[in-house]
Structure 1
Amino acid sequence: MKIYLEENLSPRIAELLRARGVDAVSAHEVGNTQLDDRAQLLYATREGRAIVTADIVDFTALATAAVAANAEHAGMILVSARFRGDEVGAIARGIAAVVERSRATGLTGTVVYLSPGAD
């Protein structure tokens, strides 16, 4: 399973995920920091990557719109605002745990909420 971190999350998380064997890239690494939310999701979908974001409100709306339009996305992992900005290690562990639990089924069309203590 491939992961794409939106620009509102530290690119350090992608580095930590790669160290755990997860195929992860950050919007910062691929030059996508200026894309709007819809374009971020389209990029992730084209690349076959589940998108990880802390923008829960907007991406919940995008997930709802995708269902209404019968459109697929490669999955969404929505990171709770209860994580502090410096908790990149905890966020990476949580994402890695979601990836591990979803290896057999994938995340296509799925929305997962990640909160502290969920890993």
Structure 2
Amino acid sequence: MKYYLDEDLSPKIAEILQQGGIDAVSAHVAGMLQASDLEQLEFASSQKRCFVTRNRNDFIRLTVQFFNESRPHFGVLIIPYSYPGDRFSLIADAIRKYDSGHTEGMSSYSIDFL
């Protein structure tokens, strides 16, 4: 599975994932800082990437919108606030474990929580 990390997550998390062989890109590196939530999800979808964020409410709403409009969507993975934002390795390890249990990727329009 390929991942696109929202700007609310440190780009260091994507770097750690990449070092472990996981295809992950951050909004910071992709030049998508300050893009709207809609633009972020559109970008992730255009790259066939699961969108990873802490922003639960907005991306649940956008996922419903994408479903209703039959727009491409490759899943949203929510990182709960119980994962401290400055614990980059902890978050990366959790994503890595999630990835190993989802070798076929996420279903279209699915939302999951770490």
The interval holding the TM-score normalised by the smaller chain is over 0.9
Q: Which runs of 4 or more aligned residues in structure 1 lie more than 4 Å from their structure 2 counterparts after TM superposition?
A: none
Counterpart of 1:4 in structure 2 is 4
Q: CA deviation at 1:30?
A: 1.2
Shift of 1:24: 0.6
Cα shift at 1:70: 3.1
Q: Match of 1:72?
A: 72
The aligned counterpart of 2:100 is: 100
Instruction: Give, in angstroms, the shift of residue 72 of structure 1.
Output: 3.1
AA partner of residue 21 (structure 2):
G
SS of structure 2 residue aligned to 1:99: helix
Letter of the structure 1 residue corresponding to residue 40 of structure 2: Q
Partner of 2:29: helix, strand, or coil?
A: helix
Match of 1:117 in 2: none
Query: What residue identity is the alignment partner of 1:65?
Result: Q
Q: Which runs of 5+ in 1 are unaligned?
A: 115-119
Gaps of 5+ in 2: none
What's the counterpart of residue 49 of structure 1? Answer: 49
Look up the equivalent residue of 1:14 and give its one-letter code.
A
Give the SS at the match of 1:95.
Answer: helix
CA deviation profile, 1:92-118 (whole Å, cap 9, x unmatched): 111111111111x2114221111xxxx
1:44 CA drift (Å): 0.4
TM-score where L is the length of structure 1: 0.88
In the alignment, residue 42 of structure 2 is paired with which amino acid? Answer: L
- The answer to whether the 8 Å contact 1:52/1:78 transfers is yes
Could you say what the CA RMSD is over the residues aligned between the two structures, in angstroms? Answer: 1.2
**What's the CA shift for 1:71?**
3.0
Question: Size of the alignment, in residue pairs?
Answer: 113
TM-score scaled by length of structure 2: 0.92
Q: In structure 1, what residue type is equivalent to 2:60?
A: T
* Conserved? CA contact 1:72–1:108, under 8 Å: no
